[in-house]
Amino acid sequence: MKKMMLIGESGVGKTTMIQVLSGESFTSRKTMAVEFCGQFIDTPGEFIENRRFYPALITTSADCDVVAMLQDATRISSLFPPLFSSIFTRRVVGVVTKVDVDGGNVERAERFLKNAGAREIIRSSSITGAGLDILKEMLQ
């Protein structure tokens, strides 16, 4: 079974997505440390918000097959630096989250992810389940 590390700012939907994908209720408190949840690695939003944590992300990514960069469709900004994906030696996918929200802007989120170096982009919602099958397939 392959492993996926989810990265993205606080509130983007990392923990919720892991719960829906794995069908297990791993704790949904604000994550303060890297957490190993079966096939998934949940990371604190702080790790993307402060570049002094980038080395921790790189080290943790060594344990996984896929790095998922999550961008919230409702946010008007992104904390991913240009070509951020290039710091990883793993397959990196961009994931737009919360595409179910009216007033979100999926295209804007995709632009942020492309700017961050994502070549594959998946549109997802943990509420409707959109895009989650594609993510599951990546982990087969």
Ligand X SMILES: Nc1nc2c(ncn2[C@@H]2O[C@H](COP(=O)(O)OP(=O)(O)O)[C@@H](O)[C@H]2O)c(=O)[nH]1
Distance CA 15, CA 29 (A): 9
> 131 is in the binding site of which of Mg ion, ligand X, none (Cβ under 5 to 8 A by kind)?
none
**Which residue number is nearest to Mg ion in terms of Cβ?**
15
| Binding to ligand X in span 29-68, by CB under 6 A | 31, 45
Give which of 24, 17, 133 is closest to 71, Cα–Cα: 17
Backbone angles phi, psi at 135, to 5 degrees: -65, -40
Binding of residue 127 to ligand X (CB under 6 A): yes
Residue 61 interacting entry, from Mg ion, ligand X, none, C-beta within 5 to 8 Å by type = none
Helix (H) or strand (E) holding 54: helix 54-61
Between 92 and 95, whose beta carbon lies closer to ligand X? 95
